[in-house]
Structure 1
Amino acid sequence: MNMFKALARRDQVFDFMTPEVSPVDVRHGPILYLEDVSVSFDGFQAINKLNLTIDDGELRCIIGPNGAGKTTMMDTITGKTRPDSGQVWFGSRHNLLRMSEPEIATLGIGRKFQKPTVFEALTVIENLELAMAADKRVLPSLTARLSSEQRDRIHEVVRLIGLKPAAHGLAGILSHGQKQWLEIGMLLMQRPRLLLVDEPVAGMTEQEMELTADLLTRLAGKGRQSVVVVEHDMGFVRSIARQVTVLHQGSVLAEGTMDQVSSDPRVVEVYLGEESGAEVA
């Protein structure tokens, strides 16, 4: 049995990750909506009238060559970059362009960057405690008294991300893949409704990639979280993809299932060159 499935097969695991009171209204539409978003830097058009819709509980893969606008798109969603024009909505009531980065994170959007950033001198458990704590200073966070519900939540997330055997070990001795899972766990401690994951399998072994695919699939599998994955590894994308969006020159080039986009001549040309007849794989 898959390790993650064995460690986190109970439904209650996902209950600890669901926001206690979600302010996001998705009754009349998607959880994330970008309309005609454009971003330029010193004359370079990073995003050009981008339109993107993510449904509640969806797992979406975003692919595209370097310079396609993937990182700028995530920067715009999280408030790091302000677009020149367009709209970005989280549910039907929250205009993200009027909110700061901390406000957007508090609202329920979590982002995992490509390079994991964990506190290597702290244990796995302590990293999760720190991620959950209201007071983000290290000493108050580690000396605060946890409630039984908080302790249960930490241990459920530890099992979910497959790090129970390493729970009391230092994060610094974890493998690259395990650090990636720990960072995902740290985001889950904040109960996000939308999780943005940037190149999660870069530098991973084949086994770590398989476990990561299972983890991300299950996060969205209960329909309680939406997951957007930006990734260059097409084998990994194919293993998790339900719906794929292809970005090119800051706009959506193609959208559909992996089979649909991989057989699109425009996608083949963008990825493999005009003279190649091979499919994206």
Structure 2
Amino acid sequence: MTPDLMQSGSERLQQYRREHPSEGHTESGGRSASMARPVVAGEVDTTHGRILYLEDVHVSFDGFKAINGLNLDIAPGELRCIIGPNGAGKTTMMDIITGKTRPDRGSVFFGSTIDLLRYNEPEIAAMGIGRKFQKPTVFEQLSVFENLELALKTHKGVAASMRFALKGAQKDRIAEVLHTIHLASSVNRQAGLLSHGQKQWLEIGMLLVQEPQLLLLDEPVAGMTDEETARTAELFLTLKGKHSLMVVEHDMGFIGTISEKVTVLCDGTVLAEGTLAQVQADERVIEVYLGR
């Protein structure tokens, strides 16, 4: 991207921020006016060998046990796939991790020392946990570049937005992410004109510019073409190791391409865990999810 294009993009984005002062893209997939209180992001302590740890977590809604004694842990840099029937607790689990839902009891830790149950959604996002919902939530009237610029870790207030100018490191980060998500050639394209798969990649890019350590991805290839699904698999394998990923998905072919370890949830607890071949051969998983 040329300096002139970057400048014009920044000017348009500053105007957009002035006209929409309450909008700031968050990792929870929505938009919030401001952070509740400052949270300093940094490398999470993973000396215990886990980036995420849930122990004996329970959640009930009007007597229904959505999560029932859930135990789960993910290692730093791991790409873990989560599968299970509808109502298994997959979405509720991610709601708990991101602070949207509070469990009735149990422990949820980010790394070895950060008790996530003490923090709210914006604070957890600021710590380095990014969440992507199934439906992409990009700013369709803005360009690809402007979407990524808007998602950067910056103060979202009106006054700060009017003074905002991209630094060299931020420009480099955006350029790196554009290459990673296969959208470098579409940098000036309006987001609303992208294909469904490209919008999904753009939203993942909006998380990546914030340098998250853990990504929660809900059915990321739903509605994609075969080619887009294959490129998304390549993308996730590229991210593996640099980030920890939890991928909730139903596409077994996609899961088989990207995952070394699969966790099967059923009735709010872990039913089985292992390689895809192992869980596919488990009679319990066949009975409640895969069918015969």
Q: Same fold (TM over 0.5)?
A: yes
Equivalent in 229, 239, 255 of residue 237 of structure 1 = 255
Equivalent in 226, 232, 248 of residue 244 of structure 2 = 226
Which residue of 1 is the match for residue 174 of structure 2?
154
Q: How many residues align?
A: 253
Which residue of 1 is the match for residue 283 of structure 2?
265
How do 1:12-31 and structure 2 match up within 5 A?
A: 22-31=42-51
Gaps of 5+ in 1: 1-19, 277-281
Shift of 1:141: 4.2
Q: One-letter code of the match for 2:78? A: E
Which residue of 2 is the match for residue 106 of structure 1?
126
Inter-CA distance 68–183: structure 2 relative to 1 (3 Å threshold): same
Q: Output one character per residue of 1:47-91: Cα deviation in whole Å (capped at 9) or x when no partner.
A: 000000100000000000100000000000000000001000001
State whether residues 37 and 49 of structure 1, in contact with CA within 8 Å, keep that contact through their aligned partners in structure 2. yes
Inter-CA distance 112–142: structure 2 relative to 1 (3 Å threshold): farther
Equivalent in 167, 173, 196 of residue 187 of structure 2 = 167
Inter-CA distance 67–142: structure 2 relative to 1 (3 Å threshold): farther
Q: Are 2:106 and 1:73 aligned?
A: no
Shift of 1:233: 1.1
Equivalent in 148, 152, 164 of residue 128 of structure 1 = 148
SS at structure 1 position matched to 2:264: strand
Q: One-letter code of the match for 2:213? A: R
State whether residues 215 and 243 of structure 2, in contact with CA within 8 Å, keep that contact through their aligned partners in structure 1. yes
State whether residues 33 and 90 of structure 1, in contact with CA within 8 Å, keep that contact through their aligned partners in structure 2. yes
SS at structure 2 position matched to 1:261: helix
Equivalent in 248, 262, 265 of residue 247 of structure 1 = 265
Q: Distance in 2 between matches of 1:124 and 1:139?
A: 24
Shift of 1:139: 9.1
SS at structure 2 position matched to 1:116: coil
Q: One-letter code of the match for 1:198? A: D
Shift of 1:29: 2.8
SS at structure 1 position matched to 2:242: coil
Shift of 1:272: 3.6
Q: Distance in 2 between matches of 1:177 and 1:43?
A: 38
Q: One-letter code of the match for 1:226? A: S
Question: Aligned-pair RMSD on alpha carbons?
Answer: 1.6
State, as a whole percentage, how many aligned pairs show the same letter.
65
Which residue of 1 is the match for residue 222 of structure 2?
202
State whether residues 77 and 244 of structure 2, in contact with CA within 8 Å, keep that contact through their aligned partners in structure 1. yes
SS at structure 1 position matched to 2:271: strand
Q: One-letter code of the match for 2:111? A: G
Gaps of 5+ in 2: 1-39
How do 1:79-118 and structure 2 match up within 5 A?
A: 79-118=99-138
How do 1:32-71 and structure 2 match up within 5 A?
A: 32-71=52-91
State whether residues 81 and 259 of structure 2, in contact with CA within 8 Å, keep that contact through their aligned partners in structure 1. yes
Q: Output one character per residue of 1:91-150: Cα deviation in whole Å (capped at 9) or x when no partner.
A: 111000011111111111000000000000000000000000412358964862111111
Inter-CA distance 125–137: structure 2 relative to 1 (3 Å threshold): farther
**TM-score in terms of structure 2 length:** 0.84
Q: Output one character per residue of 1:218-271: Cα deviation in whole Å (capped at 9) or x when no partner.
A: 101xx2210000001111111111100000000000000011101111111112
Q: Distance in 2 between matches of 1:62 and 1:272?
A: 14
Inter-CA distance 166–143: structure 2 relative to 1 (3 Å threshold): farther
SS at structure 2 position matched to 1:86: strand
